[in-house]
Amino acid sequence: MPDAGWSTGTARAAGGSRKFKLWAPAKLEAGRALPLLMLLHGCTHDAKDMAEISGMNQIANANGFLVVYPEQSRLANLLNCWNWFDPKHQTREAGEPSILAAVVEQVRATHPVDADRTFVVGVSAGGAMASILAATYPDLFAGLAIFAGAEFKAATSVSEGFGAMKRGGPDPLQQGQLAFEAMRSGLVHKKRQRMPVIVFHGAADTAVDTVNADQAIAQWSKTNACLAAEYGDGAFSLTENIVDGSVTGGRGFKKHVYREADARLLMEKWLVQGLGHAWSGSPVRSKYGDPDGPNASAEIWRFFCEAASNSHSSPQIRDSSLNQSTETSQ
C-alpha cells in the first residue's frame, strides 16, 4: 500500500518530461481503486503553490481521492505557464498534452487508480490546458474543471493568447466541433457519450475576461451535442437554471446549472461577485487566493461526484463544503 501524504515523480513522453507531486489521502483502504484528480497550476506557480492556493488536499483527505500536481518547467516557459496557445501543445501524442497524459499513467503504475474517475482541473493557463487535455485524451479524463481559463484552442499564437484573455477566442460553436474532432483518436480506446464540465470565474477578473467562461460553456455544449449524436442516443438538449447565492459573511455568486432532458447534470458555470484572478474559497488569503468566495475545490469535487459518470457509480461526498453558502433559484 503506498504511503499517504506527498510523493514525487517524473513523467516522460514524446513531448519531453515534467516533474510532478502527488498527494495521497490520509486514509487509504487496501484494495480500493481511488479517484484521481489532476490539478494544473497557473503562470508563475508550481505544485506546492497550487496545493496551498486551492486547498484541494483537504478535500482529498475528506473524500478519499488522489491529487496530482504536474509542474511546468522554466525551460519550456519562462513564466511557468502551460503553453496552451502553441499548436505544438494542442494535439494528442505531442507536446505537453502527451507529457500530462504520461503523468496519469505514471500515477497508475504506482497507485490503485480508478480509470473511470480520473478528472482534470486547471486555473488560468492551466485551465486552458485542461480544456485541451479533455479534448485530446477523453479516454483518460471523465470530467473537466476550468477556473479562469478558456475554451478549446482559444489561441494558436502568443499574440492570439493575449487577445483571447481580454476578448475571448474564436466562435465557440466552431471550437466545439474542433474539440469533438480532436476527441476521436481517444474515443477509439474508450467511448464517452458526454464530457461533464464545470467553469469557475471571478466577475472582477481583469487578467482573463469573463467572456471566456461563457465561451467555454458554449464550446463544450457543442462538443457534448456532437458526442451525443455520434456515441449516444442522438437526443441532446439542455435546460439552464440560474441560482443566486452567497457565502455567509463573504461573496455572492451566480451559478448556472445545465441539465439534460432526463435531469442529469452535465455542466455548471459559477461567476463569483467581486472575485479577481484568484482561487475562490482558498484556505489562504494571497494575490491568487480568496477565502471569501464559495469553496471552488469542494464544489468541483461535488460536481464530479454527481455528473462525471452516467454509467458508473459515483464517489461519495464527505465534508464537501468548508464554508457556508445560501442559494435561491431564479
Q: Which residues pair with 269 in a beta bridge?
A: 199, 256
CB 216 within 8 A of CB 199: yes
Per residue in 4-34, pLDDT tens?
899 999 999 988 999 999 999 987 766 789 9
> Would you put residue 59 in left (φ > 0), alpha (ψ -120 to 50) or beta?
alpha
Greater pLDDT, 101 or 314: 101
Say which residues have a Cβ less than 8 Å from residue 51's Cβ, sequence separation at least 6: 21, 23, 39, 57, 67, 69
For residue 267, what is the domain's CATH number? 3.40.50.1820
Provide mean pLDDT across the span 124-135. 98
Provide mean pLDDT across the span 47-68. 96
Find the DSSP H helices in the chain. Answer: 47-54, 56-63, 95-110, 125-136, 158-167, 172-187, 211-231, 296-307
Q: Which residue carries 473511470 as its cell?
A: 116
Q: Is the pLDDT of residue 182 over 90?
A: yes
Query: For residue 294, what pLDDT is reported?
Result: 97
CA distance 289 to 65: 23
Provide mean pLDDT across the span 101-113. 96
Nearest to 310 by CA among 254, 268, 263: 263
Q: Which residues pair with 34 in a beta bridge?
A: 113
Query: For residue 2, what pLDDT is reported?
Result: 67
Query: For residue 317, what pLDDT is reported?
Result: 45
Determine what percent of the chain is predicted with pLDDT higher than 90.
Answer: 85
Cell numbers that stand for 214 in this block: 461563457
Average pLDDT, the chain: 92
Provide mean pLDDT across the span 69-75. 96
Nearest to 89 by CA among 166, 150, 165, 155: 155
| 323 band by pLDDT with thresholds 50, 70 and 90 | low
Q: Which domain holds residue 168?
A: 5-329
Helix (H) or strand (E) holding 268: strand 265-272
Query: For residue 309, what pLDDT is reported?
Result: 61
Q: Is the pLDDT of residue 63 over 60?
A: yes
Query: For residue 314, what pLDDT is reported?
Result: 40
Residue 280, φ and ψ in degrees, nearest 5: -75, 135
- Please give the single-letter amino acid code of residue 184: R
Q: Is the pLDDT of residue 320 over 80?
A: no
Per residue in 272-316, pLDDT tens?
999 999 999 999 999 999 999 999 999 999 999 998 765 433 444
Whole-model pTM: value is 0.93
Kind of pairing, strands 197-202 and 113-123? Answer: unpaired
Per residue in 204-215, pLDDT tens?
999 999 999 999
Provide mean pLDDT across the span 185-198. 94
Provide mean pLDDT across the span 249-253. 96
Nearest to 267 by CA among 225, 238, 297, 235: 238
Q: Which of 19-28, 57-66, 178-187, 312-321 has the lowest mean pLDDT?
A: 312-321
Number of structural domains the chain divides into: 1
Query: For residue 310, what pLDDT is reported?
Result: 56
Query: For residue 31, what pLDDT is reported?
Result: 73
Query: For residue 325, what pLDDT is reported?
Result: 60
Q: Which residues pair with 244 in a beta bridge?
A: 254, 328
Burial group, residue 42, by CB count within 10 angstroms (0-12, 13-18, 19+):
buried
Provide mean pLDDT across the span 122-135. 98
DSSP per-residue codes, 36-99: EEEEE--TT--HHHHHHHH-HHHHHHHHT-EEEEE---TTT-TT----TTSGGGSSTTSHHHHH
